[in-house]
Amino acid sequence: MDLRHRDVDLRELMDDPDCDPVALAATLRRFDVVNRAVSGWGTVWRRHLRPALARLDRPARVLDIGSGGGDVTARLAGLAERDGLRVEWLGIDPDPRALAVARERARPGVEFRSTDSTALRATGERFDAVISNHVLHHLGEPELRSFLDDSLALSTGLVLHADIERGRTAYALYAAGILPLQRGTFLRTDGLRSIRRSYRAPELRLSLARHGTWHVLRPAPFRLLAVGSGRA
């Protein structure tokens, strides 16, 4: 497997509008287990998001763009509640199939809508922080420009975009580690394709440098975090 360069021509099975709906729903539901194990959001919450929201000393609003099945949104909402922070969470995704799964995780203070960042920006809504998980590697250059611009325009504070860091070790560990969870889902095929589409840190820094001031960190093994400051 040649992982020296991003394979941007790969398409994930779950992005096919005609994919198996049962397997898609199972994939979206089981992402919760995968993301808890490898996404590094616990660290991102402790080091970045929680301190920023706590400084507000008032109820906060956080937007999750491309929230998929809603597991990251719901997990962070649980962490905020545990830590005594008052936060309203909104997850958005243009795919109604994802919305159907995400709404299983909705509760007071946690809402999901079928829309995208450009449409939401046009409504004039603003948030104290904007986040995403596993969105960057899906985007071509024109889409990336629009996505970053929207996320900065929607936030009055932090913007945090988390993704995978491409590499041989990440590929090998995921290929083996996902086996117990893959049955009836797209987790193995799509996860490996995601790694092949993803950035390495220098590549992401170079790409983001064309679109404003961003810092790229490694919050956990095989993870990248793009950090920006909103301009809303």
pLDDT of residue 1: 72
pTM score:
0.96
Give the C-alpha distances (Å, rounded to integers) separating 23 from 14, 51, 53, 138. 9, 38, 36, 20
Euclidean distance between CA atoms 75 and 83, whole angstroms: 13
For residue 217, the SS3 value is strand
Which tens digit of pLDDT belongs to each residue from 29-38? 999 999 999 9
The pLDDT of residue 194: 97
Q: What domains can you pick out in the chain, each with its CATH number? A: 13-229 (3.40.50.150)
**Assigned token pair, 224:** 């990248």
Tens-digit pLDDT string for the chain (232 aa): 789 999 999 999 999 999 999 999 999 999 999 999 999 999 999 999 999 999 998 999 999 999 999 999 999 999 999 999 999 999 999 999 999 999 999 999 999 999 999 999 999 999 999 999 999 999 998 899 999 999 999 999 999 999 999 999 999 999 999 999 999 999 999 999 999 999 999 999 999 998 889 999 999 999 999 999 999 8
Provide the pLDDT for residue 47: 97
Provide the pLDDT for residue 57.
Answer: 86
